[in-house]
Structure 1
Amino acid sequence: MRRFGLYPTAAVATALATTAAFATATPGGVAALRRAVDDGLRPYIVTTRDVRDAWELGARLRVTRYYAAVLPGFVAWLSPDQVVQLSASRRVTGIEPDRLVEAQDVSWGLDRLNQRELPLDGRFGAHGSGRGVTVYVIDTGIDATHREFGGRAAAAFDATGGDGYDCSGHGTHVAGIVGGARVGVAPAARIQAVRVLGCDGTGTVSDVIAGLDWVRTNAEGPSIANLSLGSPRSRALDTATTALVKSGVLVVAAAGNAGADACGSSPASAYGVFGVAASDESDQRAPFSNYGRCVDLYAPGVDIVSTWPDNTLRRLSGTSVASPYVAGVAALKLGANQSETPTSLFTWLKSTATGGVIVKNQGRTPNRLLNTASL
């Protein structure tokens, strides 16, 4: 079973796992998942025609969570016979095993954003602050008390059944790149942490969908979502992520750290999602970074300094740390013009990027590097 979680230092890989409960997480999390597998049951994500079908089909099953906002369906522990029966039902549009997810590791990065060419000049300046914009960091939670956040951050939802505190560090690091006062791009943006991964940087696809579902239901005002995580291609996760985009929330996702085609990873492969690859201080493609047509541009992703729990800082690498740079720049643009849509932000980010500077670009990856000069 593959893990779903964060994308690491040259690869803290984010892998999605397999459990959930309506409004609460399955007790025991990943450990409970593994015990259930040993008992002959496996967790599946079942997508139905509508919410009514989900409730009726799930009534006699071991359902751990229902979805309603980003897709109709549920998560349930199923036997092989039950999988066959559900697959044959006309009320079911898709069924797939839940998978484990892992996180990707995450400054010179800020310095690189406002320059078209090297060398770096040791400064960062961009018009705007992200004020009035909410960025949902869907990750391992957050240490909202870190001085870099200045009271602008909070734990909003925890799909794992906890209180949203970041016992991993990854989510706090990602959030700092988005909106830290000194290390972040948008120092006035509001940060809402949506915890879907555990202390070890792993979680389940079903919990990630639960986080997306929560954001779709509760997002207010100009909003952006960052997902510095990934799993093997999941139709359910891609569907849910695209639904969030269609609701008016720009979704930015890490391309992945496997050095492979990003189209094989979710949610980076989802329609409408802004996929981000990683580059280093000399504008070379990071060797661990995924690539291909599901990538929209590069952003700094090697040896990036950002926030860490207990008012500390740490240096990390990965597409996980490249993605929040894009979310932060998008927050600057959205804060300056709150009528921007996901489509217009998507187009603006690509059109204002610096072209042709990435060395060792690979595959069908657009040769574009994130830039703030047009702000």
Structure 2
Amino acid sequence: MGATGFAGGAAGRDLVEVNVGVRNDAGRDAANRAAAEVKREFSFDALTIRVAPAAADNLASNPNVRYVEENGTMVAFEQTTPYGIDLTDADVAIDDGNTGDGVDVAVIDTGIDAQHETLEANLGDGWAAVDAACTTNCGGGPSGGGNGIEECLAEWDDDNDHGTHCAGTAAAADDGTGVLGVAPDVTLHAVKVLACDGSGTFDDIAAGIEWSADQGHDVQSMSLGADTDSSVVADALRYAADRGIVIVAAAGNSGPCTDCVGFPARDERVIAVSATDQSDALADFSSTGPEVDLAAPGVDTLSTVPRDGYAEFSGTSMACPHVAGAAAQVIASGVTGRDAVRNALLEAADDVGLAANEQGSGRLNVAAALDGDDGGDSENAAPTVESLSASPASTDTADAAFDVGWTVSDADGNLDAVELSLTDETDGELEETVSAAVDGEQAGDTTRLVAADDDGTGNEYAVELTVTDADGASASDSTVVSAEEDTADGGDTAPVIDRFTVTDDSNPNWSRHTVDWAVSDADGDLAAVTSEQSAGGDVVDRASTTVSGDTASGAHDLESRRTSVTEIRLTVVDGAGNETVETRSF
């Protein structure tokens, strides 16, 4: 958009409908003066007007106006249906007594059947945009027209099927009738912003988000979207997020593709959901991209349709309400704060082997997000290598020796054994293996590994540690260390890494790590410390600090667009060119 952003009829006599974002009262006054008709004013700094094209162009160049956008439309993502309650362990959560009771979920869609046998008991207040209000005489549209109901029981009644189907997945009651939803005791609110043909204007959708936010709802579920962004909808998302609402949206049905997540799902305030099938394979229609946060079942999913009906639909529209219901469950369990709810869902997700841009953090697991039983399907939690470091050690012989410091832990208190190995990287020869018994929740020690009859001058050695628990679960880590020059004679010594800890603050869109380090050099000849973030062997970010003397410490912040980082490497170099390297694997 710009000075020539709006095309009108002859001499500009035709009106265009636009959303106007304003910076201040002067901008709002300018928009009102230009308007032939004011269609809607928002609580946030925006309004929707009908205006002559030339006047719209003038508003777009007004410094008191943030944006002027044509009032486009969004449509319900195309359908085909869910079964995913069992796959996501929502049934396990429900059996444990978690039902979402006391949480309000807004389904911002085509409405909800006002009398469905397994939804009616969960229905709270609803709302409909004037342009989307229920009708029994639908003229067709991108979703194939309305469902032909004979009577609208409320203005927010569902004359399309789509919204009712999403509502059933999120919260169909556990009453022995029909189907079971993810959170069967939440209060559902129909926010009807899509007409019977499955489409709705940007301003109607923004108004629905605003209404829901003003009611104090906890979760908003949006199985809708467009290829283009909308500034007025983004304003509404900000308005809702500022009021603490967890917002979930379908990623879109533009697949196969690699970077095509729709809007509003790609907005940073929204949990974007892709679709998988019953085998945890990516649905071929699912949009993917770096904005995807979670995957959920969206192929042939069974849910509710008006009146007292049930059908299988497919689409990311069907995946989205699984996550909305799970968010309600997390909130009902006592978790507060939008970020805390989001993190609980992402951290508990099951890695089903898809790429990060396909599954985000993984496929939804409702029970795990509540710290509940996983239904007996997962194995004992694996132990963890907390730290691993190695430094050259002085000996009375010409052998290359290294002191290896390590700590391991196991959340189940079930540690069993640690094995350390030393391999000469020059020829690939295994030099020594040492095993130690461990128990409890945490253990640590310093172990000396020796490359016998090898002075190791100029060589690099790989140190690998494997920890195993009593159930056979294991974890490994490794580091690389350089041998001292002339170990026996005490020549120029390599620097030592005394501290190397990594804090992982990554999210589905960014790989972020903070490296906290401390180094020393017996010769007082420190030169430089470098941290590197690697993905698949390629360095994706690097930070370096010049140092001097015999000790130094500091921190490096590493960041890259989500690239599935597999390793963090720390290198310290002294003035003689000796270097010591350690790595942390992910």
State if a TM-score over 0.5 links the two structures: yes
> Which residue of structure 1 lines up, in the alignment, with residue 404 of structure 2?
none
Q: CA deviation at 1:372?
A: 1.8
Higher helix share: 1
Deviations 1:167-191 (A, max 9, x none): 0010111111110023311110000
> Which residue of structure 2 lines up, in the alignment, with residue 88 of structure 1?
61
> Which residue of structure 2 lines up, in the alignment, with residue 329 of structure 1?
326
8 A Cα contact 1:178 1:327, kept in partner: yes
1:273-352 paired onto structure 2 within 5 Å: 273-337=270-334, 340-352=336-348
CA distance in 2, matches of 1:128, 1:317: 27
User: Structure 1's 331 and 225: CA in aligned 2 closer, same or farther, altered over 3 A?
Assistant: same
Q: CA deviation at 1:62?
A: 2.6
Q: Which has the larger Rg?
A: 2
2:73 corresponds to 1:100: yes
2:253 to 253, 257, 270: 257
Deviations 1:230-257 (A, max 9, x none): 0122232223213211211100000000
> Which residue of structure 1 lines up, in the alignment, with residue 183 of structure 2?
186
1:239 to 235, 238, 247: 235
User: Structure 1's 96 and 123: CA in aligned 2 closer, same or farther, altered over 3 A?
Assistant: closer
Unaligned residue ranges in structure 2 (runs of 5+): 1-8, 134-154, 174-178, 371-586
1:1-375 paired onto structure 2 within 5 Å: 40-50=14-24, 53-55=27-29, 57-69=31-43, 71-104=44-77, 105=79, 106=81, 108-114=83-89, 125=95, 127-154=97-124, 156-161=126-131, 162=133, 163-181=155-173, 182-219=179-216, 223-231=218-226, 232-259=228-255, 260=257, 265-337=262-334, 340-355=336-351, 357-359=352-354, 361=355, 363=357, 366=360, 368-374=362-368, 375=370
User: Structure 1's 81 and 173: CA in aligned 2 closer, same or farther, altered over 3 A?
Assistant: same
CA distance in 2, matches of 1:214, 1:287: 35
Which of 289-298 and 252-261 deviates more? 252-261
CA distance in 2, matches of 1:127, 1:261: 39
Deviations 1:12-44 (A, max 9, x none): xxxxxxxxxxxxxxxxxxxxxxx9xx9732211
Aligned residues: 329
SS of equivalent to 1:108? coil
> Which residue of structure 2 lines up, in the alignment, with residue 3 of structure 1?
none
User: Structure 1's 287 and 194: CA in aligned 2 closer, same or farther, altered over 3 A?
Assistant: same
User: Structure 1's 123 and 301: CA in aligned 2 closer, same or farther, altered over 3 A?
Assistant: same
CA distance in 2, matches of 1:51, 1:144: 41
SS of equivalent to 1:194? strand
8 A Cα contact 1:183 1:305, kept in partner: no
User: Structure 1's 154 and 350: CA in aligned 2 closer, same or farther, altered over 3 A?
Assistant: same
Which of 81-90 and 97-106 deviates more? 97-106
CA distance in 2, matches of 1:154, 1:39: 44
Higher relative contact order (CA 8 A, sep 6+): 1
8 A Cα contact 1:354 1:370, kept in partner: yes
User: Structure 1's 364 and 306: CA in aligned 2 closer, same or farther, altered over 3 A?
Assistant: closer
8 A Cα contact 2:250 2:316, kept in partner: yes
> Which residue of structure 1 lines up, in the alignment, with residue 414 of structure 2?
none
CA distance in 2, matches of 1:363, 1:251: 19
SS of equivalent to 2:185? coil
User: Structure 1's 358 and 140: CA in aligned 2 closer, same or farther, altered over 3 A?
Assistant: farther
CA distance in 2, matches of 1:192, 1:144: 10
Higher strand share: 2
Q: CA deviation at 1:124?
A: 7.5
CA distance in 1, matches of 2:359, 2:367: 22
8 A Cα contact 1:144 1:155, kept in partner: no
8 A Cα contact 1:111 1:124, kept in partner: no
CA distance in 2, matches of 1:286, 1:204: 28
8 A Cα contact 1:256 1:320, kept in partner: yes
SS of equivalent to 1:296? strand
Q: CA deviation at 1:73?
A: 1.3
**Aligned partner letter, 2:49:** A
Unaligned residue ranges in structure 1 (runs of 5+): 1-34, 116-120
User: Structure 1's 289 and 54: CA in aligned 2 closer, same or farther, altered over 3 A?
Assistant: same
**Aligned partner letter, 1:131:** D
Q: CA deviation at 1:60?
A: 4.3
8 A Cα contact 1:50 1:73, kept in partner: no
User: Structure 1's 107 and 364: CA in aligned 2 closer, same or farther, altered over 3 A?
Assistant: closer
Q: CA deviation at 1:122?
A: 11
